[in-house]
Amino acid sequence: MSGIFITFEGPDGAGKTTQLELLAEFVKQQGLPCLTTREPGGTDISDRVREIILNPAHTEMAPETEIYLYAASRAQHVHEKIKPALDKGTVVLCDRFVEASVAYQGYGLGYGEDLIRQMNELATGGLKPQRTYLIDINPEVGRGRMNGRKQTEFQTDLDRIEQKELHYHQRVREGFKALANSQDHIHPLDGNQSIEDIQFRIRKDFKRLVETKKD
Ligand code: TMP
């Protein structure tokens, strides 16, 4: 039996991590095996790559390097963690995946969707999520939330990607919107709604997804 692969996406500060954790609680309440993980990261090697990518001191990083590093982190993550869990029938909830690269590197950096998809085809072996919950938020609102969050965690610095100019994050948001219009597996959600309302919609959709799988 193969599991269910679900990813969460959206501009920084959209609230996807909170929604992922709430869905994980629900999946476990249903008695289903559940794995939560994130990108970039999720394995020792991938976490090391994450540190390199997001380090604010790495201002000299070439965009091509950034694209390859996200894909490299992902390749290890799929190979070592996601694929084995799915093969065992686990529900895998992943904070970001290929759609993030399409939005941030494809649209944000201007490399286009096709190139990013081609590169990630090799990294993922063609693995695609059955569902992506895409939470939309205006990047200005998202940034305000991030700033508040980092201060309460006693971290004053945003990471290298979060620090990029607002225009970059606006291109990323447009990228996500374009994906929502072209990909059937993407379920768009309005990040201005309450945490409870968004989670209600996610759980409703998830229940339907599980039912369809049983058929
Ligand atoms: P996170 O804040 O969701 O942990 O992600 C870290 C940052 O990396 C975030 O600003 C989005 C960015 N990112 C990309 O630019 N491309 C990718 O492929 C992924 C997975 C994340």
Q: How do residues 159-180 score in pLDDT, each as one tens digit?
A: 998 888 999 999 999 999 999 9
Q: Pick from 145, 161, 173: which is nearest to 10 by CA?
A: 173
- With a 6 Å cutoff on the Cβ, whether 12 touches ligand 1 is yes
Q: How many domains does the chain have?
A: 1
Direct distance between the N- and C-terminal alpha carbons of the chain, in angstroms, rounded to an integer: 13
Q: How do residues 41-61 score in pLDDT, each as one tens digit?
A: 999 999 999 999 999 999 999
Helix (H, G, I), strand (E, B) or coil at 80: helix
Q: Report the CATH number that the domain containing residue 174 is assigned in CATH.
A: 3.40.50.300
Range(s) of the domain holding residue 41: 4-214
What is the rounded (10 degree) CA torsion for 109, 111, 116, 117? Answer: 120
Determine the number of helices (DSSP H) and then strands (DSSP E) in the chain. 9, 5
Q: What confidence score (pLDDT) does residue 163 get?
A: 87
Helix (H, G, I), strand (E, B) or coil at 168: helix
Predicted structure pTM score: 0.95
- With a 6 Å cutoff on the Cβ, whether 104 touches ligand 1 is yes
- With a 6 Å cutoff on the Cβ, whether 9 touches ligand 1 is no
- With a 6 Å cutoff on the Cβ, whether 161 touches ligand 1 is yes
Which residue has 């997804």 as its token pair?
Answer: 209
Whether a cis peptide bond, with omega within 30° of 0, leads into 129 is no
Which residues, in sequence order, are bridge partners of residue 79? none
Which ligand 1 atom is nearest residue 96's CA?
20
